[in-house]
Amino acid sequence: MRIARRAAPERVLLVHPGIYADRNPLVFPPWGALMLGAELLGRGHEVEVLDLNGQDVAAAVPAALGRHRPTVVGITCKLGLGAARFRAVVDVVRRESPDTTVVAGGPLVSSFPDPAHPLWAGLDAVFWGDGETALADWLATDERPGGVLGPAETPDLDRIGVPAWWGPLRDYVKPAELWPNMTVDAMHVASARGCTRRCTFCYLNAQYPGSRFRYVSADRLMADLQRLHDTAGASGFYFVDDCFVDRPETRVRRFCDLNIAEGAPFEYGCDVQLTDLENPALLRRMHGAGFRALYVGIETASPAVRKSLGKGSVRTGVPDLVSRALDLGLVVRASIGIGWPGETARDVAATLEMIDRTPGLVFDAYRYLPLPNTPLGERSEWTERRAAAGPGRLEHAYEDYSEYNTNHSDIPAEQFDALWQELLARERQRLEMYFARP
């Protein structure tokens, strides 16, 4: 008979390095760390979570090491300033506590999965994909392999749901006036992984190469949100999930029905796709269930560019789709970008014109950001850049990523800059509208 080894419990410190050095930290709970924490607690380990957004890493990490004396430190990593702060955390832990096991995971791993990349220096293992069962299983093995492990997927998201175990969660609940079109205190929550689509520029191509949309079931989600309401005091929930509406609409309909049956106790915001706005019956049901704010990836008005991005096509024009949603009592905010490979000045003009014809549309403007290991990112930037830098290595990975949000179109620089300014001016004016109260 094979007897499973029961590993000694570890004292695990999960660190979210944060993406801001000096700004309001408590806007997005560190859900990745909280999900891992729920699984580890369930397996008998002690767990502490440290969210360093807005804090000085050099001071906060030694203090936390002194307080918790962890045997394992697990660090979340993602692009941008977050990558530099991640490296700073690794270096401080290694210096202050050289015998501690140090591991990392998060979306940055899928962007730079080469184990020899300097980003991973000093780590005992690096986890690609979902971390819950991957880390807990790794801690339970006698020989813990090093390098980059995965990509992994947590088989059943209902196992953890949306956990409420972390006391400081109540600090992430923000007053109603900070939320679009909501009348209650609310917080950001995470309830799914992946997406029903695979746009060519999207990080999901690398983060979850094998899978599509997975989610916490409607019944479990409803119960967990009720628990978050009871423990943290939130009556509104804005989902940070990349996708909320499943293709067969099984979960979204059940979730709406559960809310409607309970008298719509909460208010919600979530991401949807432009194609979802073509479904007024669904939008009506979502509004009845408490949905108030939708976020849509429009990206561009040009059908040719949309096609190259894999965004799918819509039969109804954006102005009609948006005004229909507004008429139903929903607000719509979108992401709109320029600088796409192959984009022409005429394409950008079409995007600006679409914005002008959609006065109710609020949007975030950005310039295309080519992500490593995505089909479009590789084609437009990284295959060449990696070849120049050596296998799998990208020398600028630690830096603020904003310098890569730039012009990858064929539009000459001066003309592009002028178009970018036009887009920014419209963005400013619309965002003011979004948070204005009636």
Please report, as ranges, the residues that interact with ligand SF4 according to CB under 6 A.
195, 197-199, 202, 204, 242-243, 273, 297
Of residues 297-316, those binding ligand B12 (CB under 6 A): none
Instruction: List all residues 6 or more positions away from 64 whose beta carbon is below 8 Å from its beta carbon.
Output: 13, 15, 48, 50
Nearer to ligand SF4 by Cβ, of 75 and 195: the residue is: 195
Q: According to the binding rule CB under 6 A, does residue 92 interact with ligand B12?
A: no
Nearer to ligand B12 by Cβ, of 346 and 396: the residue is: 396
Q: How far apart are CA 421 and CA 288, in angstroms?
A: 39
Instruction: List all residues 6 or more positions away from 223 whose beta carbon is below 8 Å from its beta carbon.
Output: 161
Binding-site partner at residue 40 among ligand B12, ligand SF4, none, CB < 5 to 8 Å by type:
none
H-run or E-run covering 403: none
Q: According to the binding rule CB under 6 A, does residue 76 interact with ligand B12?
A: yes
Binding-site partner at residue 74 among ligand SF4, ligand B12, none, CB < 5 to 8 Å by type:
ligand B12
Binding ligand B12 (rule: CB under 6 A), the pick from 52, 65, 103, 119 is: 103
Nearer to ligand SF4 by Cβ, of 149 and 245: the residue is: 245
Rounded (10°) CA dihedral 262, 266, 272, 274: 80
Q: According to the binding rule CB under 6 A, does residue 82 interact with ligand B12?
A: yes
Q: According to the binding rule CB under 6 A, does residue 369 interact with ligand B12?
A: yes
Beta strands in 119-266 (DSSP E): 125-129, 148-152, 186-189, 192-193, 214-215, 236-239
Contact (CB, 8 A) for 89 and 26: no
Nearer to ligand SF4 by Cβ, of 188 and 357: the residue is: 188
Tokens standing for 342?
């192959």
Site map 238..277 versus ligand B12, x via CB under 6 A: --xxx-----------------------------------
Q: According to the binding rule CB under 6 A, does residue 55 interact with ligand B12?
A: no
Q: According to the binding rule CB under 6 A, does residue 401 interact with ligand B12?
A: yes
Q: What are phi and psi of 101, to 5 degrees?
A: -75, 130
Binding ligand B12 (rule: CB under 6 A), the pick from 65, 88, 102, 108 is: 108
**Minimum distance of ligand SF4 from residue 244's CB (angstroms):** 10
Residue span binding ligand B12 (CB under 6 A) among the ranges 28-36, 215-223, 282-290, 339-347 = 28-36
Angle value at C-alpha 116, between 374 and 391, nearest 5 degrees? 55
H-run or E-run covering 65: helix 57-68
Lookup result for tokens 């994909």: 129
Q: How far apart are CA 127 and CA 103, in angstroms?
A: 8
The footprint of ligand B12 on this chain (CB under 6 A) covers a number of residues equal to 40
Q: How far apart are CA 240 and CA 253, in angstroms?
A: 19
**Minimum distance of ligand B12 from residue 35's CB (angstroms):** 4
Burial class of residue 369 (count of CB atoms within 10 Å of its CB; 0-12, 13-18, 19+): buried
Q: Which residues bind ligand B12 (CB under 6 A)?
A: 18-19, 28, 31-33, 35-36, 53, 74-76, 78-82, 103-108, 110-111, 127, 130-132, 135, 154, 190, 203, 240-242, 369, 401-402, 405
